């Protein structure tokens, strides 16, 4: 009996082991199947996400320029594709300038710069800097393929260093660029300059916007400031003047115009917002005369000037002189009363300090010029807040148009 019970017990134990092993195998197979289903679904989801990201990236990275797709955003930016898309739109501009030697004998010298094609109301024009074509004759434009055509100036504005040319180039040669407002630019945005430095056609450089709202003064502007200029690090040289400053979509955001002597990579460009504002008048009238003018000269305030004047304001624009019967004089603004030696320079002090226009803070000539150019027109009345004898005054000033220098 004892032996029979033992056999029964052993048989049951074997049966139990078989059941347990079978359950484990079944559980393993079920778990594997579930894992496989889960992984397959997860892989499918990931593939869908990758496809969506690729689609978004393609949309954000590409733009159509002259019919080409250009990938231009991100670390894998293809500047070569962008260059290929815009190079046929940019021209070398040459002309002859009549000059005289010390014996008053006439001779001609060659002037050279850059420009680009733009479609204005169905007609192809060339946009460039005024100083490129100033007083020039026998003007020609040359495309990257070497084809050259005659051109004539139809509009110019020395106050913005802009000029518009009409060309005899056939429509098949002209591939216009798109101009967008530079108001969308921010410091740090990447930009590209394409032009012909020293006559080297089709040269391209890249950099970033290093500052906005700068003011520069050029000889042909009659000493008046050119306002709201873009400062950039894209290297430019003589001959780049008039060429386009482009964003990474190949759209024009400025026109390269000047470099700071002895600087390293410090260049300036006329903003495209100025171009768009003036283009109608330049093409239709041949000029632009809506630059607001207050009729005063001055200098930016500094800590040293404030200390010499005994005032607590270290920012603003100090008026040195007002033009007789000009807008500032009629508004009651006052110029300086004495000359002081400050930090090794002679400064006219004692005048009103402009600290705000229409409630907008004015830190210096950059702010003053930019505000007037971007937000006002001749004939409008503005509220000018000044510091006079340590008192704050607000005076009304009716703007006039700048006297013409052409």
DSSP structural state of residue 179: B
| Residue 221 confidence (pLDDT) | 65
Q: In CATH, what number does 182-273 get?
A: 2.40.10.10
Using the predicted structure, report yes or no on whether residue 55 has a pLDDT greater than 90: no
Percent of the chain with pLDDT over 70: 79
Q: What average pLDDT does range 198-205 have in this prediction?
A: 90
| Residue 108 confidence (pLDDT) | 87
Residues of the chain within CATH 2.30.42.10 domain(s) are 292-401
| Residue 116 confidence (pLDDT) | 97
Q: Which of 157, 161, 352, 366 is catalytic?
A: 161
Using the predicted structure, report yes or no on whether residue 35 has a pLDDT greater than 60: no
Question: Token pair of 39, please?
Answer: 């992984």
Residues 6+ apart with CB under 8 A from 66: 85, 86, 88, 89, 175
Using the predicted structure, report yes or no on whether residue 18 has a pLDDT greater than 50: no
Question: Token pair of 329, please?
Answer: 């004089």
- Alpha helix positions (H), 62-175: 79-86, 130-133
Using the predicted structure, report yes or no on whether residue 86 has a pLDDT greater than 90: yes
Pair 357, 385: CB distance under 8 Å: yes
CA–CA separation, 164 and 127 (whole Å): 5
Q: Is 241 a catalytic residue?
A: yes
CA–CA separation, 344 and 404 (whole Å): 35
Residues 6+ apart with CB under 8 A from 61: 71, 72, 73, 74
3-state SS assignment for residue 358: coil
Pair 227, 270: CB distance under 8 Å: no
Query: Tell me: the pLDDT tens digits for 331-370?
Result: 999 999 999 999 888 999 999 999 999 999 999 999 999 9
Question: Token pair of 38, please?
Answer: 């889960």
Confidence of residue 28 (pLDDT cuts 50, 70, 90): low
Query: Per residue in 189-201, is it b (16+ CB within 10 Å) or e — as a string?
Result: ebbbbbbbbeeeb
Using the predicted structure, report yes or no on whether residue 79 has a pLDDT greater than 60: yes
In order of 46, 74, 82, 118, 190, the CA distances from 68 in angstroms are 31, 19, 9, 17, 21
| Residue 405 confidence (pLDDT) | 63
- Burial level of 347, CB count in 10 A (0-12/13-18/19+)? buried
| Residue 51 confidence (pLDDT) | 63
CA–CA separation, 209 and 245 (whole Å): 10
| Residue 82 confidence (pLDDT) | 92
Q: What average pLDDT does range 312-334 have in this prediction?
A: 96
| Residue 5 confidence (pLDDT) | 43
Using the predicted structure, report yes or no on whether residue 186 has a pLDDT greater than 80: yes
Query: Tell me: the pLDDT tens digits for 364-383?
Result: 999 999 999 999 999 999 99
| Residue 157 confidence (pLDDT) | 95
Report the alpha-carbon angle 41-46-51, nearest 5.
125
The helix or strand, by DSSP H or E, that contains position 20, with its residue range, turns out to be: helix 2-61
| Residue 67 confidence (pLDDT) | 46
Q: Which of 63, 89, 196, 241 is catalytic?
A: 241
Using the predicted structure, report yes or no on whether residue 124 has a pLDDT greater than 90: yes
Q: Which of 63, 89, 114, 131 is catalytic?
A: 131
Query: Tell me: the pLDDT tens digits for 247-301?
Result: 999 999 999 998 876 667 789 999 999 999 999 999 999 999 999 999 999 999 9
Pair 23, 31: CB distance under 8 Å: no
CA–CA separation, 65 and 86 (whole Å): 7
pTM score, two decimals? 0.76
Pair 127, 270: CB distance under 8 Å: no
Residue 371 has φ and ψ, to the nearest 5°, of: -60, -50
Domain 292-401 coded CATH 1.10.150.20: no
Residues of the chain within CATH 2.40.10.10 domain(s) are 182-273
CA–CA separation, 283 and 157 (whole Å): 11
Using the predicted structure, report yes or no on whether residue 14 has a pLDDT greater than 90: no
Question: Token pair of 131, please?
Answer: 């100083």
CA–CA separation, 130 and 168 (whole Å): 20
């Amino acid at each position: 009996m004892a032996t029979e019970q033992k056999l029964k017990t052993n048989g049951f134990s074997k049966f139990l082991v078989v059941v347990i092993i079978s359950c484990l195998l079944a559980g393993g197979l079920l778990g594997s199947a579930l894992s496989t289903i889960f992984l397959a679904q997860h892989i499918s989801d990931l593939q869908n996400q990758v496809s969506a990201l690729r689609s978004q990236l393609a949309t954000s990275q590409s733009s159509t320029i002259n019919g080409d797709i250009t990938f231009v955003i991100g670390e894998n930016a293809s500047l070569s594709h962008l260059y290929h898309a815009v190079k046929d739109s940019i021209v070398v501009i040459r002309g002859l300038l009549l000059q005289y030697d010390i014996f008053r004998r006439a001779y001609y010298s060659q002037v050279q710069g850059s420009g680009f094609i733009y479609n204005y109301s169905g007609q192809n024009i060339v946009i460039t800097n005024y100083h490129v074509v100033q007083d020039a004759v026998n003007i020609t434009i040359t495309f990257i393929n070497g084809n050259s055509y005659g051109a004539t100036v139809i509009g110019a504005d020395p106050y913005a260093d802009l000029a518009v040319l009409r060309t005899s180039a056939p429509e098949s040669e002209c591939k216009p660029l798109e101009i967008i407002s530079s108001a969308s630019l921010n410091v740090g945005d990447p930009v590209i300059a394409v032009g012909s430095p020293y006559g080297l056609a089709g040269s391209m450089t890249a950099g970033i916007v290093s500052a906005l709202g700068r003011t520069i003064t050029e000889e042909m502007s009659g000493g008046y400031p050119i306002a709201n200029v873009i400062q950039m690090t894209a290297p430019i040289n003589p001959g780049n003047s008039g060429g386009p400053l482009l964003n990474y979509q190949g759209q024009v955001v400025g026109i390269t115009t000047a470099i700071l002597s002895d600087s390293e990579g410090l260049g300036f460009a006329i903003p495209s917002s100025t171009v768009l504002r003036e283009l109608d008048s330049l093409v239709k009238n041949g000029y632009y005369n809506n630059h607001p003018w207050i009729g005063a000269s001055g200098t930016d305030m500094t800590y040293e000037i404030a200390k010499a004047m005994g005032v607590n304001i270290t920012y603003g624009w100090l008026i040195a002189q007002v033009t007789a019967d000009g807008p500032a004089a009629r508004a009651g603004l006052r110029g300086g009363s004495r000359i002081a030696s400050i930090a090794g320079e002679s400064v006219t002090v004692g005048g009103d300090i402009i600290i705000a226009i229409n409630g907008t803070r004015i830190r210096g000539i950059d702010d003053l010029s930019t505000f007037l150019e971007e937000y006002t027109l001749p004939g409008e009345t503005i509220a000018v807040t000044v510091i006079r004898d340590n008192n704050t005054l607000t005076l009304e000033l009716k703007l006039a148009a700048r006297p013409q220098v052409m």
